[in-house]
Amino acid sequence: MGSTFTEEEIVLWAYRFESKGPEELLQWAVEQYGTDIVLASSFGAEDVVLIDMLSRVAPATPIFYLDTNKHFAETYETRDRLQERYGTTFIQVLPNLTLAEQAERFGDELWASDPNQCCNIRKVEPLTRILSQYLAWITGVRRDQAPTRANTKKIEWDQKFRLMKFNPLASWTSDDVWQYIKAHDVPYNPLHDQNYPSIGCSVCTRQVLPGEDPRAGRWAGFQKTECGLHK
């Protein structure tokens, strides 16, 4: 199963869904792709919203997470609470290299010396591998998260990974996300309550200070704002 759209059709469908809610887009996307669509989750605020929405409109949709082996304990605990809440098991996607093998090949704490290489090994390559099994994926990307995401469409062709990409929350604000979480009592990562608006690996994420950009806590000290999954 799986639909094939021309470039013009993708633009048209993105325009049609721009004014529609994320649940409606999720339902339509799953109708188009069935078992060939997957949700990528980091268990951040946006992703737990999508997990809850999918549980309502398309509960059989597979959900995966990239396990870098360096997540915060709170992130793994959030994963476990979500699995219990929704009665599901998320697909664990591991890097080809263990942390010990990575250290032997590239040196200790690669994330401190070459975070791009570390992200490529522990995130980009595993993502490429899992997405090769599907025709479409769903993400929690929002336009106001970062300048690099400002032009995100709700429906677009992912040129990097060569499949359709759905971003149901693209037009949402952070307030929209948190209103949904509170209204539906969705389990979320408690680090969000401790000035961690964007949560990645524990070794590359710090608290965000008042007045800082929401993604300032990611890869602090480096000219890096994305791990390579979306841009």
Q: 192-202 burial string, b = 16+ CB within 10 Å, else e?
A: beeebbbbbbb
Active site residue ranges: 227
In a domain, 212, yes or no: no
pLDDT for residue 204: 87
Q: Sign of dihedral through CA atoms 30, 31, 35, 36?
A: negative
**Total Cβ atoms within 10 A of residue 113:** 11
Q: Domain range spanning residue 27? A: 7-204
pTM, entire model: 0.90
pLDDT for residue 215: 57
Spatial contact of 129 and 93, defined as CB atoms under 8 Å apart = yes
pLDDT tens sequence across 16-36: 999 999 999 999 999 999 999
Q: Sign of dihedral through CA atoms 44, 118, 147, 218?
A: positive
In a domain, 227, yes or no: no
Count the domains in the chain: 1
**For residue 211, how far is the Cα from the chain centroid?**
24
3-state secondary structure of 205: strand
In a domain, 2, yes or no: no
**For residue 174, how far is the Cα from the chain centroid?**
15
3-state secondary structure of 9: helix
Cα–Cα dist 146/195, whole Å:
17
pLDDT tens sequence across 180-210: 999 999 999 999 999 888 899 998 888 787 7
Q: Sign of dihedral through CA atoms 80, 39, 143, 185?
A: negative
CA angle 65/69/71 to nearest 5° reads: 70
In a domain, 215, yes or no: no
Using DSSP bridges, classify how beta strands 63-66 and 91-93 pair: parallel, antiparallel or unpaired: parallel
CATH number at residue 85: 3.40.50.620
CA angle 65/66/71 to nearest 5° reads: 100
Give the residues of the chain that fall short of pLDDT 50.
1, 224, 226-228, 230
Cα–Cα dist 28/49, whole Å:
17
Spatial contact of 62 and 34, defined as CB atoms under 8 Å apart = no
In a domain, 118, yes or no: yes
Cα–Cα dist 97/194, whole Å:
31
pLDDT for residue 230: 46
In a domain, 122, yes or no: yes
* Residues in CB range of 27: below 8 A, 6 or more apart: 57, 58
In a domain, 128, yes or no: yes
Cα–Cα dist 227/231, whole Å:
8
In a domain, 130, yes or no: yes
